[in-house]
Amino acid sequence: MIFALLAGLATPVKAQSIGNAPAYIFTYFKNNGEDGLHLAYSYDGLKWNALNKDSAVLTPKVGEDKLMRDPCAIKGPDGLFHMAWTVSWKERGIGYASSPDMIHWSEQQFIPVMAHEPLAQNCWAPEIIYSKADNNYMIYWATTIPGRFPETDQKGEKNHRIYYVTTRDFKIYTKALLLYEPGFNVIDATIQQDGNRYVMFLKNETKKPVTEKNIRVAFSKYLTKGYSKASEPITGKYWAEGPTAVKINNKWVVYFDKYTEHQYGAVESADLKNWTEISAQLKLPEGIRHGTVLAINKPELDLLIRYFNQDNK
């Protein structure tokens, strides 16, 4: 079963080649996400500078609450940046837009990914990954459907699992299916490819009877199924959420929101087994919240810096 959604997308452009000098962009939100998308950049993945004087570069326009929380952006093989985000605390859909340069954006879409589940309470932290093998994109997110997993229901608490759809054109989507059931309340999944396997970083959202609130890892040979039992926590004795991962100098770096401490943290690993805390090395814009780090080439970053850091645009 599929559902279609008409949309005004930006015209695809030819993908640019990756330059010799890599750079990184952090897409994020601040406060409750009412003002929209924020961007920061870095050359080493540790020291980050806000673009546009840390003012929003894109205003949310879809959804009842018109929020732009948890913005996830990737660059597709079509040369476009594709971005999804949380539009509301309680709606059964997500936001989507595309851009050739992260400056000029297509018309925003509301994608009703859980419209067929009348009891679904939310769609949180959507992420996008491109599957070269299947020549399509997978969008995945966390949703609570009361009574669906009664063995981990807790009174007064949501009980999320990770769901997904696939699409080739961001107009027609497959019906949402379950992606990951780890046996606990799980949110904030983010997936990266590591050789011939996929790595899912996720948050154990369990609060009762024992509080977890930590980041873990699972692995699969297949993008849409077969993820392993979640690892032990890779984060420390603090509450962490919103992981985003990127490989820098042959090491995986996982950033996360230490949301009760109002600061960001990070851990790194060369083998995805042994993790080192590097939070003290980070320098990030004040008030940064759950977002995504992605590698871009230097010409792309130079364009963003010239555009957003000039006084009169």
Q: Looking at the domain assignment, is residue 16 inside a domain?
A: no
Whether a cis peptide bond, with omega within 30° of 0, leads into 100 is no
- Residues 230/218, Cβ–Cβ less than 8 Å: yes
Q: Looking at the domain assignment, is residue 216 inside a domain?
A: yes
Task: Give the three-class secondary structure for 227.
Answer: coil
Residue whose tokens read 């080739």: 168
pLDDT tens per residue, range 252-262: 999 999 999 99
Cα distances from 178 to residues 10, 76, 124, 140, 186, in angstroms, run: 30, 24, 14, 9, 12
pLDDT at 5 over 60: no
Cα distances from 273 to residues 7, 189, 211, 227, 231, in angstroms, run: 42, 18, 23, 16, 9
Q: Looking at the domain assignment, is residue 170 inside a domain?
A: yes
Which are the contacts of 4, defined by CB distance < 8 A and separation ≥ 6? 171, 172, 173
- Residue 207's region, left for phi above 0, alpha for psi from -120 to 50, else beta, is alpha
Q: Looking at the domain assignment, is residue 134 inside a domain?
A: yes
For residues 310 and 64, what is the distance between their CA atoms, to the nearest angstrom? 33
Domain that holds residue 87: 2-8+22-308
Report the CATH number at residue 297: 2.115.10.20
pLDDT at 13 over 50: no
pLDDT at residue 309 in the model: 86
Mean pLDDT, rounded, of the chain: 92
Which tokens in the block code for residue 174?
Answer: 């497959």
Residue 281: phi and psi, rounded to 5, are -85, -10
pLDDT tens per residue, range 18-65: 344 589 999 999 999 999 999 999 999 999 999 999 999 999 999 999
Instruction: Average the pLDDT over 84-100 and give the result.
Output: 98
Q: Looking at the domain assignment, is residue 13 inside a domain?
A: no
Instruction: Average the pLDDT over 271-292 and give the result.
Output: 97
Q: Looking at the domain assignment, is residue 17 inside a domain?
A: no
Q: Looking at the domain assignment, is residue 313 inside a domain?
A: no
Q: Looking at the domain assignment, is residue 250 inside a domain?
A: yes
pLDDT at 10 over 70: no
pLDDT at 266 over 80: yes
Count how many domains the chain has.
Answer: 1
